Amino acid sequence: MSEPNEHTSLLIPHDEEGQSVRSREEVELGHTSIGERLSYNDYSTIDWLHCLVKDSYRFRALHLRHGTRASINQHVDACSGWIAVSLIGIIMAFVAVSIDMSVATVAGLKYGYCAGNPLVSREACCEYVHKEGINCDRFTLWSDRYWPQFGIYVGWAVLFGIISSGVTMFSKTVLPAVGPEAKNPNGYSHSNSNSNYNRYGQGKSLYMSAGSGIPEIKTILSGFVIPHYLDFRILVLKAIGAVFAVATGMSLGKEGPFIHIAACVGQQVANRFEKYRENAGKWREILSAACAAGLSSAFGAPIGGVLFAYEEICVHFPRKVLWRTFLCSMVAAITLKALNPHGTGKVILFETNYGTSYRPEHYFTFIILGISGGLWGGTFTMANLLWARWFRNIRLIKGRPVLEVFFVIMVTAALQFPNPVTRAPGVEIIKNLLVNCATKKDTWVCRNEARTDGRWDYIAWLAYGTLGQLASTTITFGLKVPAGIIIPALVGGALFGRLVGQWVTTISPGIFAMVGAGAFLAGVGRMTISLCVIMFELTGELEYSLPHMIAILVAKWTADAISKESVYDLAQSVLGHPFLDTEHALRLIQHEPSATVQAILPPASTMAELTIEVPSNNKVPQKVLKEHLNYLHRRGLMDGGIVLTQKGVLQGYIAEPELEYGLNEFGKAFGEDKEVRLFGDVDEGEYDLSNFVDRTPITITNTAPMEYAVEIFGKLGIRYLCVTEEGSGRLVGFVIKKRLLIYLDGLKD
């Protein structure tokens, strides 16, 4: 089911039969080949202000009714949001546990199999055997010799990678686009949404289950539409692909994909409630809560999940959404604890207990870790982009994403398998590196650190592991498989922190591994408060929140000094997803002296096609409206509409979906030559579209500072601004959000 459309008429929420009136979804956007060309036309936008007013109409209509049934409906409506987010939290926890168990089972096949039950993981096999009182040797290795082990390990990894990439190929989708050559001869669309896809051309291609999904979710939550990105089919493909991608052993994680999967779960649940199904703005509030449940299920970090959604993903985050997000994340964590996937009865993933505290002289080491994490984070985005541009343009690789995955797996296996530190899955590597050798001495790390012969081979393995991890992460991010950056960054930071800890002997080196993990993730993701909370929720070490704060802030400052964009910002830019970051936009505008709204006005030829001068009788011929609707389609301005003036003064605005709906649904009954009323009182039998006209469009003067336009678009979440001339009040322009984004993109260059 596609996401809701907010363009139901505000004044006529239902038709004569009591059915809700919904014009078609605005998904038919694309490149225009005639006239002015706009970027981002594969995406349409919603209007948060419109959605707010629409929900107010619905609320008033619901509460005007009286009686027992009406009272029950009102209480159900009031509780529907809380019920929805609770269901999302429960379902997401079950999905997360299923994926975790599947990853553990599939990944174990690279090493061997459980003689008692080949379908269980190595950890589960050992636990099962231990309960029987039998030695854990029941988990049988494929071979006792190194080279056969290596060959089998690589063979399974390649197979898993091909499966994951192959599954991802099934998620390839071409966004619909607008093209004049595919237009209906009458210049307007049919009411059947399926005909829209046949009528319009093709736009951008997307592998919807590839990557982490966080850039796309940010785009959706900022008010843009990516059709079918959260469908149930994508959920299934993402989950299957993530299982096999993580099982390969490549430098990627499932935590980012969990957020996309949670958003898919959120859509499935939200669409069961009419309140959210019919309102795109309210629907996105539920998705915000779902994203927090995704991270909470991945890490067992409910508070960190809420803060991550607030800090990194969501644009519209009012207090009510915060409360519901808190509930959703909490329910996910409660369900996760009840399911007990780690067998400890706790949700803490990397529980540690160092038993010692840091001293003031250790602050310098925490700062060093922060600087190192920032240096890597600042250079990672540039290195990854340079690698992608070079490697993916090689003739053998270009256009063959599955082959690219094959080569990266071969390189990753060659780097990781020889190293005893990095041979295990990412989560296991972090657990081993965070260990406190004062209480647990039977691990490979602790046995080597207990040696008194200098341990230079062990230090070399740590150094080699750090460099190999950072290099493999650089070449892995961006592959056409479900993949996140969180676990790889934590692994790289933990390796470097443990390495640094070999020269600071006053406290456990595991402490520096823990702080280093957070610093490296902060450098690449630019998270601050949410990351600090996630780290102490992951480890249970609240005492070390101050070292995390120091390292995370230093890492962010260092990374920002090199590159202002986080890895998610870069991915959004590279993928071409529209996103209005008001803080970043205001920084860009500060470097432009005297930037005013005049700079983003469309050309006069475009304005002529977008404007109708309404006569004093408040009526215009139907064919005039159809001609202007045809202009919108031809230019791909499906986010726009027609501006209505009288004597050059702005009088109203009618959006493209409302205009198209009115012409399609009512035009047949009145004929082609009938005049259409747009303003004023309606006489019986008149062709009336005045209910579809917004008589209070948001306006701004052409001499207003550009900062005004950025703040209005960003804070109000509107789709358009009408620009008037200072002093006279005459209409001089009509600006949609995409035009502002194009202007800001030009400032980046």
- Residues 575, 617, single domain; the answer is no
Tell me which of 398 and 178 has the higher pLDDT.
Answer: 398
Residue 177 lies in a domain: no
Confidence of residue 34 (pLDDT cuts 50, 70, 90): very low
The answer on 552 and 659 residing in a single domain is: no
- Which long-range contacts link 398-403 to residues 24+ away (Cβ below 8 Å)? 401/165, 401/168, 401/169, 401/207, 401/479, 401/480, 402/162, 402/165, 402/166, 402/169, 402/480
Asked which of 556, 579, 602 is the last residue of a domain, the reply is 579
- 699 forms beta bridges with 722
Region 55-66: what's the mean pLDDT?
A: 88
Question: 488 and 566 share a domain?
Answer: yes
In a domain, 18, yes or no: no
Which residues, including other chains, have CB under 8 Å from residue 357's CB and lie 6 or more apart? Answer: 507, 543
Query: Residue 202 — pLDDT band, cuts 50, 70, 90?
Result: low
Q: Which pLDDT score is estimated for 39?
A: 63
Closest C-alpha to 575, from 196, 278, 213, 259? 213
Encoded tokens for 575: 């993928």
Length of the chain: 749
Burial of 205 (0-12, 13-18, 19+ CB in 10 A): exposed
- Residue range 414-433: mean pLDDT, rounded: 89
Residue 491 and residue 483: Cα distance in Å, rounded?
Answer: 15
Number of domains making up the chain: 3
pTM: 0.87
Is residue 554 domain-shared with residue 676, that is, in the same domain?
A: no
* Judgement on whether residues 594 and 609 belong to the same structural domain of the protein: yes
Contacts of 580 (CB under 8 A, 6+ apart): 222, 315, 710, 713, 714, 737, 740, 741, 744
**Do 574 and 622 have their domain in common?**
no
pLDDT, one tens digit per residue, over 493-544 is 999 999 999 998 889 999 999 999 999 999 999 999 999 999 989 888 888 9
- Three-state DSSP at 461 gives helix
- Does residue 196 sit within a domain? no
Which residues 6+ apart lie within 8 Å of 459 measured at CB? 499, 502
- Contact criterion met (CB below 8 Å) for 380 and 251: no
Contact by Cβ (8 Å): 328, 85: yes
In this structure, the answer to whether residues 313 and 398 fall within a common structural domain is no
Hey, what are 281's tokens? Answer: 């703005």
> Given this model, what pLDDT does residue 669 score?
65
Range with the largest mean pLDDT of 25-29, 56-60, 529-533: 529-533
Q: Which helix (H) or strand (E) holds 141?
A: strand 139-141
Are 388 and 523 within one domain?
yes
Percentage of the residues of the chain whose pLDDT score is greater than 70? 88
Average pLDDT across the chain, whole number: 84
Residue 230 belongs to some domain of the structure: yes
Contact between residue 266 and residue 253 where contact means Cβ atoms under 8 Å apart: no
CA nearest 43: which of 22, 24, 33, 28?
Answer: 28
- 194 domain residue, yes or no: no
Cα pseudo-dihedral 97, 99, 102, 108, rounded to 10? -100
- Alpha-carbon span 649 to 110, nearest angstrom: 72
Half-sphere exposure of 342 (CA within 13 A, CB side): 17
* Structure-token match 């449940």, residue found: 293
pLDDT range class, residue 675, cuts 50, 70, 90:
confident
Cα-atom radius of gyration of the chain, to the nearest Å?
Answer: 29
The CATH code of the domain that includes 388 is: 1.10.3080.10
**434 domain residue, yes or no:** yes
- The CATH number given to whatever domain includes residue 733 is 3.10.580.10
> Do both 395 and 525 map to the same domain?
yes
Q: Is residue 197's pLDDT more than 60?
A: no
CA dihedral of residues 128, 132, 137, 139 (deg, nearest 10): -30
Show which of 307, 339, 371 is a domain's final residue.
339
Answer yes or no: is 32 within a domain.
Answer: no
Say how far apart CA 693 and CA 711 lie, in whole Å. Answer: 25
| C-alpha dihedral (503, 505, 508, 511), degrees to nearest 10 | -50
Domain that holds residue 77: 70-171+208-339
* Alpha-carbon span 507 to 501, nearest angstrom: 8
3-class SS of residue 248: coil
In this structure, is residue 327 part of a structural domain?
Answer: yes
Same domain, 564 and 602: no
- Decide: helix, strand or coil at residue 688: strand
Determine the average pLDDT of the residues in 150-170: 93
Nearest-angstrom CA–CA distance, 478 and 485: 10
Same domain, residue pair 569 and 706: no
22 has pLDDT over 70: no
Contact 646, 612 (CB under 8 A): no
89: nearest Cα among 332, 405, 258: 332
Banded pLDDT at 569 (limits 50, 70, 90): confident
Q: Of 579, 604, 634, which marks where a domain is finished?
A: 579
**In the chain, count of helices (H) and strands (E)?**
28, 15
At residue 134, the pLDDT reads 46
Check whether 126 has a pLDDT greater than 90: no
How remote is the C-alpha of 374 from its chain's centroid?
A: 23
Is 589 found in the same domain as 575? Answer: no
pLDDT, position 579: 87
